[in-house]
Chain A
Amino acid sequence: MGDLFHYEFMVHAFEAGTVIAIVAGAIGYFVVLRGTAFAAHALSHIGFAGATGAVVLSLNPIIGLLAFTLGAGVTIGALGSRLRERDVTIGIVLAWTLGLGVLFISLYRGYATAAYAILFGEILGISTTDVTVTLVAGLITLAATIALYRPLLFSSVDEDLAAAKGVPVTALSIAFMAILAVAVTEAVQVVGVLLIFALIVTPAAIAVRFTCRPGVAIAIGIALALAFTWLGLTIAFYSPHPVSFFITSLAFATYVLVRLAVPFRARIRRIAISPTA
C-alpha cells in the first residue's frame, strides 16, 4: 500500500478523486430524484465541444468545458419541467455539439491524446493547481447544494406544490443545473465526458434502492462514489488498464448486484397489492 502514495500523481489523483466523489455523490441524489439523469449525461457531452474548442483556441480545455456545460445547464434548467419534450431537444443539441467536437479535433492536428483524455478522463495527470481548483470548485458546489437543500428537495418531489408554497421553482431549476454543470466539469477529469454517469448517477441510483430517507441516501451515494474512486485508483495502480474502466465497472457491478438483491421484497409486495400493475 506504501508505494501507492509514493508517486505524486497518485496523491493528486486521490485528492482530486475524493473531492469529486463527494460532490458527485451528493449532487447525484438530486439528479436521480428530479429525473434529470439524461440531462446530466448530455451536459458532459455538450461540454466536449467546449473542451475541444478551447484547445483549438489554445485555452485550457476545462474553461471551454465549464463554459459549455454552464450554458447548456442554464438553458435546460430554464426550459422547465416538461421532461418528455426536453429529452428530445437535449438529444438533438447533444448530437450537434458532439459533431462540433469532432470538427474541433480535426482542426487541431496531433490532438488525439488530449481528446482521449477529455472523453475518458485523465485523473493520473492531475497537477497541484488542478487539485486546488477542484477543491475550490467542489466546496462551492457543495455549499450551493446545502444552501438550496430544502427547496430543491421540495421542488424535486412536487414542483406544483413547491411553487404554491412560494419556492421559486424555475430559478431553482436553473441554479441546480448550473451546480450540476460545475460538478460535471469536475468529474470529467476523473472519468471523462463519456463515462460521467458512473460517478454522478450510479451511486445515487444505488443509494435510493437502500433507503428512502434523503439524508441517508446522500450519505450512501457519497460513500459509494468514494469507494468506486478509491478502489478504482488502487486497482488501476497495480494493473495496466485505465482507471475509468475500473471505476465504471465497480459502479456497474454494484448496481447490478443491488438491483438483483434488494428489490425482491418490495416487488413481491407491489405485485400482491396491485395484480394489474
Chain B
Amino acid sequence: MTEQPAIVARDLAAGYGSRAIWTQANFAIEAGSFTAVLGPNGSGKSTLVRLVLGLLPPASGVIEVLGEAPRRGNPRIGYVPQGSNFDPELSIRGRDFVALGVDGHKWGVRLTGRAQVENAVDSSLTSVDAGGYADRPLGRLSGGEQQRLLLAQALIGRPQLLLLDEPLSHLDVRNQQAIVQLISAVARERQLTVLLIAHDVNPLLPHIDHVLYVAHGKLAMGEPAEIITSASLSRIYSSPVEVLRDSRGRVFVVGLEEEVSHPHG
C-alpha cells in the first residue's frame, strides 16, 4: 500500500500528570484497515482514543493522525464515545442528535442550510438503516438502535477515520454481530479506517485486519491469528497468558486481567 498510514505512533507514551498509563508504543494503522483495540479494563484503551482525538496530549513521543498532529474537532474523524447509553428520560429525537454531528459545534441556531443538513441526516440514517426510529426519543430506543444512531452521527461528516469506543458493550450477541457487520460493510464501501475498542474479540474476528493489544503499560500490534496466541501474548507481556478456544471456535484470553492497577481507562 502506497498510501500513508492513518495513524502512526513513534515512541508514544500516554499518561495523566506523572502517572504513566502506557509507554513505548510504536505502531502504524494502515489506511482503510479495520483494527480492534483489545485489552483489560483500565489498561488505557480509551486513553489511546483521547490521544487520537487530540483531547489529551502525548506524555512523550509522536502521534500522527491522517498525516497531521491530532487536533480537537477534526472533521475527518468520526467518533462514537464510550458508555453512550442515553438516559431513558433524554427527550430528543434521534434525527436531531444526528444533525448535531453536522453543525452541533457551531455557535447560534441553524438559520441557513436547513435542507442540506436534513438531506445529510437522511442519507446517513439510511446508510445505517436507522430511518425507521429516527423520529422517536433517543432515550427510549434499544441499545442496538442507539448504536446505529451514534454511528449515523459519526458517519455524517464523511470522515476518513472512525473511532468507536466500546460500541458493543451494551449489546446482546445478535446485535453485536449486526453492528460489527454494519461497521465493516460501511467501512469497506467508503474505504474508512476503523479503530474499534472492544472487550471481546469474538464478534470482531471475521471482520478485523489487525489487533492492537493494550495491557500492562504496553501496546502490541499484529494480525489476529499471530498475536492472539498463548506464546505471543505471554512473550509480549512477560507473564503467563493463555489463549483458549472453545468448541465453537470462540477465543478466550486468560491471564491479562490480573495485576491491573489503573483505576480508569
Residues of A bordering B, CB below 8 Å: 33, 35, 146-151, 153-154, 157-158, 160-167, 208-209, 211-214, 217, 266, 269-270, 273-274
Contacts and interface: CB of A to CB of B under 8 A. Distances in A.
Given A149-B109, A208-B91, 4 more contacts: A165-B72, A165-B73, A166-B72, A166-B73
Contacts of B109: 146, 149-150
B160 interface: no
Interface string B86-101: 1111111100110011
A161 to B, nearest CB: 5
Nearest to B94: A212
Interface of B: 53, 55, 72-73, 77, 79-82, 84, 86-93, 96-97, 100-101, 103-110, 136-138, 140, 142, 153
A212 B107 contact: no
Contact of B81 (A149, A160, A213, A217): A160
Contacts of A146: 108-109
Q: Is the interface of A mostly helix, strand, loop or mixed?
A: helix
Contact of B92 (A148, A151, A212): A212
B87 A212 contact: no
A151 B91 contact: no
A158 B105 contact: no
B105 A157 contact: no
Contacts of A208: 89, 91
A149 B103 CA distance: 11
Given A149-B109, A150-B110, A212-B136, A167 B96 contact: no
B249 to A, nearest CB: 30
B237 to A, nearest CB: 29
Contact of B105 (A166, A266, A273): A166
A269 B136 CA distance: 12
A167 B92 CA distance: 19
Contacts of B97: 157-158
Contact of A153 (B86, B91, B104, B142): B104
Given A154-B104, A162-B105, A212 B81 contact: no
Contacts of B87: 35
Nearest to B79: A164
B104 A165 contact: yes
23 contacts: A146-B108, A150-B108, A151-B104, A151-B105, A154-B100, A157-B97, A157-B138, A161-B80, A162-B100, A162-B105, A164-B72, A164-B73, A164-B79, A164-B81, A165-B72, A166-B72, A166-B73, A167-B105, A209-B91, A212-B92, A212-B96, A213-B93, A213-B96
A158 B110 CA distance: 19
A84 to B, nearest CB: 13
A90 B144 CA distance: 36
Contacts of A160: 81-82, 84
A33 B92 contact: yes
